Amino acid sequence: MTINTPTIAESTPAMGPTTRGARAIRLPRSPKVIAGVVILIVFALVAIIGGWIAPYSPNLTNESWVQHVLVAGTGPGTHIPADYYPLPLPPSPSHWLGTTVFAQDVWSQLLVSTQATVAVGLLAAAMSTVLSIIVGVTAGYLGGGADEGLSLVGNVFLAIPGLPLLIVLADYVPSAGTSIFLVSLIIAITAWAYSSRVLRAQTLSLRNRDFVEAARVSGEGRFRIIVVEVLPNLIPIVAASFLFTTLYAIGAYVAISFLGLAGSPTSSPPGLWNWGNMLRETFASDAVRGGWWWWWLPPGLCIAVLGTGLALLNFGIDEFINPRLRAEGLSRKAARRLGITRRPKLGLTPVVRRPALKVDTTTHELGTP
């Protein structure tokens, strides 16, 4: 994962002071956004009910769930007592995703793991977003010395590489892995700086708009102006950075679990089942070399698909924030129907406010606001 919302800082949101109550983000209804929403809903559902619908406990081991292979040179006909090594079973009707080399059910582990992974992603993103709003908006609105100081802190955190810092923190707080809250907190500490920088830039540009000026002149308090006038106009950016941070947090959680820093489910105190832990076990057991794809592919693919879902939804928000990015929400056919050429056309990027509805052909020819 890499930065995917770089345009935010430079672009101006296509909105001024909105009427109260009508501030919901209207996402463009492109296939990308719909796909993103569907993916997120599915994973959210699994995160909630995964523990109930899992056929077995993720820790349950059963001798009959592995194939016992005789070690060559032992057992009957030799002087050495028979020795067996386990081979995991490929997918079958009784084990949809096969079993692990530890004789556990992969499908159950995958379902149960979804919960902690998604929970940490969301919680860490929520914490980091709150932190970035507090720092970014305060810095942007207050300006002066407060801005200098807070921006400096943000820039320092931005410059220190996140994962290594995370590794050192998690290494010294061994109990972090047992608690969703703690691990989220540690991830949030390393994640807030980028969003805060973006929010600061946007607040800076909002601060001098007329409606904020008007509120100030009419004697509204500083806190009230920030909460009532400034914050609502930052919602799309906050949403985009929330999604981006969720993606980052899931990646970070999976990474530290893969490194064994978030506790393993079998250690004491037991860590939480998550996709990173599953991948760690497959890697430690050399599952790739063993050819046991059913064990190591599913958790990785889950991360990738969930991450793609988040990124696709982010596209929707990007297109909401920056109308210039919007036009390709249209299919080729729909575009032709609306009379928009999709050829590269300089300075005249087709802009459609509501792709599903009829579009006044004069507006998009004039370019963007």
Report d(CA 152, CA 158) in Å as an integer.
Answer: 10
Pull the structure tokens for residue 333: 């056919």
We find the least distance from the C-beta atom of residue 44 to another protein, in angstroms, to be 17
Residues 6+ apart with CB under 8 A from 218: none
Tell me how far, at minimum, the Cβ of 57 lies from another protein, in Å.
25
Cβ nearer to another protein, comparing 170 with 225: 170
Residue closer to another protein (CB basis): 141 or 315: 315
> In the complex with another protein, which residue's Cβ is closer, 204 or 231?
204
Cα radius of gyration rounded to whole Å, the chain: 26
- Residue 299's CB is within 10 A of a number of other CB atoms, namely 26
CA–CA separation, 95 vs 187, rounded Å?
34
CB of residue 280 vs another protein: minimum separation in angstroms? 10
Maximum alpha-carbon separation in the chain = 97
Report the nearest approach of another protein to the CB of residue 159 (Å). 4
Nearer CB in complex with another protein: 122/215: 122
Residue 21 vs 344, nearer CB to another protein: 344
**Closest separation in Å from C-beta 257 to another protein:** 11
- Give the Cβ contact number of residue 56 at 10 Å: 18
Closest approach, Cβ 250 to another protein, in A, equals: 9
Of 31, 167, 46, 12, give the one whose Cα is nearest residue 114: 46
- The alpha-helical segments, DSSP class H, found in 225-337 are 231-258, 275-284, 287-290, 293-321, 332-337
Q: Tokens 């958790």 label which residue?
A: 299
What's the full length of the chain, in residues? 369
Would you say 224 or 345 has its CB closer to another protein?
A: 345
